[in-house]
Amino acid sequence: MNKHESLWLVWQNVNTRLFYHVGTLSFYDSQYTFQYTYRSNGPQKINDAIKNGYLLHPMFPDLKKEYKSKNLFGAFKRRLPSEIRVDFKEILSDLSLSEGYSEMELLERTRGKLGGDQYSFEKPLKIIDGILKTSFYINGMSYQDLPQNWFEVLKSNKKVILKLEPENPVDENAIAIYTGFNIKLGYVPRFYASGISALINNGMSPKISVNYINESSTSSWWVKLDFECEVPEINKINLSQMDPIFESVV
């Protein structure tokens, strides 16, 4: 069976600093597809983004079209490091990729980020055998009152805690992330927050762990977390709260 791979295309409004899941890139059966999230009227999707200043990507000008290609779309391929770079093997090593990597894997690890750019690719929330899984970098760390040795504290005790912030003035679904010593690190990315907060509010207990710490990088790459949560009674949860957050994988 062919493996279905997908990544969320995320756009950031430079004025508000808020993020939106504007489209999904998929690869299955030797074909790439890209489509905007126009079917969802939920927050942090394309319709919400357009209301807040987003302009459709010039390479994908039709909001409702499903774009297809046998090769990775040029607009996305240019976001990958070039194989002719003299340090390309070192880049693969830093990303923990072997030479048999796929372009989707490389796009996932690099997040397709370019300097000063408003786009990034992020892993979707996927349900695999009843377990919801993803990984993400903590948002907003540069805006927190962190101690200078925050990374040493986190490396010595990698316990992290999620705390809902229903009174948050920007997002009622905001989820703050704290160390085991009650140091606020930042937030769960906003485009995941409505789904994860719905799980927590329905009695689920997510497991979250530190995957990666790189204090010498820019703040959006400082801390990567792994997330998973059992969802044994998914049909009993109000899915409208998560529209359409989750992707199922058989």
Transcribe 166-212 into DSSP letters: TT-SS-TT-EEEEETT--EEEE--HHHHHHHHHHHHTT---EEEEEE
CA atoms of 113 and 105, how far apart (whole Å): 14
Residues belonging to the chain: 250
**Mean pLDDT in residue range 128-157:** 93
Q: What is the 3-state secondary structure (H, E, C) of 12-40?
A: ECCCCCCEEEEEEEEEECCEEEEEECCCC
Say what the pLDDT of residue 236 is.
Answer: 42
Residue 238 predicted with pLDDT over 50: no
Residue 227 corresponds to which tokens in the numbers above? 């997330």
**Mean pLDDT in residue range 134-163:** 95
**For the chain, percent of residues with pLDDT exceeding 70:** 92
Say what the pLDDT of residue 232 is.
Answer: 60
Going by pLDDT thresholds of 50, 70 and 90, the confidence category of residue 130 is confident
Strand-pair category, 31-36 with 223-230 = unpaired
Residue 243 predicted with pLDDT over 50: no
Going by pLDDT thresholds of 50, 70 and 90, the confidence category of residue 239 is very low
Say what the pLDDT of residue 72 is.
Answer: 97
If you average pLDDT over every residue of the chain, what do you get?
Answer: 89
**Mean pLDDT in residue range 172-195:** 94
Going by pLDDT thresholds of 50, 70 and 90, the confidence category of residue 248 is very low
Q: Nearest CA to 186 among 152, 154, 232?
A: 154
Residue 212 corresponds to which tokens in the numbers above? 């990666």
Angle (CA) 75-78-82 rounded to 5° is: 165
- Which amino acid type is present at position 106? L
Residue 36 predicted with pLDDT over 80: yes
In Å, how far are 36, 64, 110 from 33, measured between CA atoms?
Answer: 10, 13, 20
Residue 215 predicted with pLDDT over 50: yes
Q: Nearest CA to 220 among 111, 133, 147?
A: 111
* DSSP class of 141: G
pLDDT tens for 219-231 read: 999 999 999 998 7
